[in-house]
Amino acid sequence: MAPETDPPFQRIAADLRRRIASGELAPGARIPSTRRLAEDWGVALATATKALTVLRLEGLLEARPRVGTAVAARAESPPRQPATAPEGELSRERLIAAALDIADTEGLAALSMRAVAGRLGVSAMTAYRYVTSKDELVLLTADAAFGEAGYPADPPAGWRPRLELGARTLWTLFRRHPWLAHLSPVTRPLLLPNLLTHAEWALAALDGHGLPAKAALDVHVLLYSYIEGLAVNLERETQAQATTGLTGDEWTDSRFATFDTRTAAARFPVFTRLMADLGDGYDLDLDALFESGLATLLDGLTPRIEGPAGS
């Protein structure tokens, strides 16, 4: 059990973690909704959502279509505990690690110099010796996150496999750190060294195919925008769960329970017919949608990159 002095979301996470480790909650078992957890623990919905987010990041929980949040089939047992350190052992690297943990578990809005200092057990003024501002801290943290995955020294043959690898690498990072998709619009690019590594990989894949500089950059921005645009929904879903206390499937079910198909059929015949054809409903899987959209996007770019004859 977590000490009473720990934040409420950590106590909730610790209790669920204990129940999973003991076998009380077996793999596949459904976890109580955020609303139920909030009621049982007497906390806000956002606090309950933070607890479930922590366990999802640890690999202990997973979202399952038509079920909700459940114990993962192969629940790992990490928990990554934030390090505390005396002032003498403090460093910029420790500050960034703590900031990354806060952004991942509580969201970008919760990241502040005071929060990071508190996580490390030092004063806020001490933290300012290593990072000059919150803005700098956010950028350093984002750069660290983008640097968690790299590329092989020998790239796969062909522009398409190379772009596919780059896209999937970025999607994995956005999946791991959903707040990254909310940093800055593509019209204001962040020139972070580790983010530029991903850009260099994509641009190198396009190099040598006769594309003018602007065209090559446009293709890169288009591909990056697709990945980032889809990833924006990861953080929004977490926020929506905190606000409503419902998973995406639960929320959709509640809306369609009151959907008058007879009235809608006259106005929206195609939509009504497609929903009826689905039978059990439409399970929106962002990972599957990412792969489908990536294939469609690259199919459309092929004539532009290879030429009409595919040469």
pLDDT tens digits along 14-49: 899 988 888 888 888 888 887 788 888 888 777 887
| pTM for the predicted model, two decimal places | 0.70
Tell me the per-residue pLDDT of 278-303, one tens digit each, with 9 for 90 and over: 777 677 788 999 999 999 999 999 99
Q: Which amino acid is at 159?
A: W
**Paired tokens of 157:** 């043959």
**Calpha distance 184→196 (Å, rounded):** 15
**Calpha distance 285→1 (Å, rounded):** 34
Residues of the chain with CATH 1.10.357.10: 150-311
Considering only CA atoms, which of 89, 82, 142 is closest in space to residue 115? 82
The mean pLDDT value for 82-106 works out to 76
Query: For the chain, what percent of residues have pLDDT higher than 90?
Result: 40
Yes or no: domain 8-71 corresponds to CATH 1.10.10.10 = yes
- Domain covering 150-311: architecture: Orthogonal Bundle (1.10)
**Calpha distance 117→219 (Å, rounded):** 41
Angle between helices 134-146 and 113-120 (to 10 degrees): 70
**Paired tokens of 286:** 């962002």
Residue 300 pLDDT: 95
**What is the CA 56 to chain-centroid distance, rounded?**
11
Residues of the chain with CATH 1.10.10.60: 87-146
Considering only CA atoms, which of 248, 201, 254, 261 is closest in space to residue 227? 201
The mean pLDDT value for 223-248 works out to 84
CATH superfamily ID and name for 87-146: Homeodomain-like (1.10.10.60)
Q: What is the mean pLDDT of the chain?
A: 84
Residues in the chain: 311
Residues of the chain with CATH 1.10.10.10: 8-71
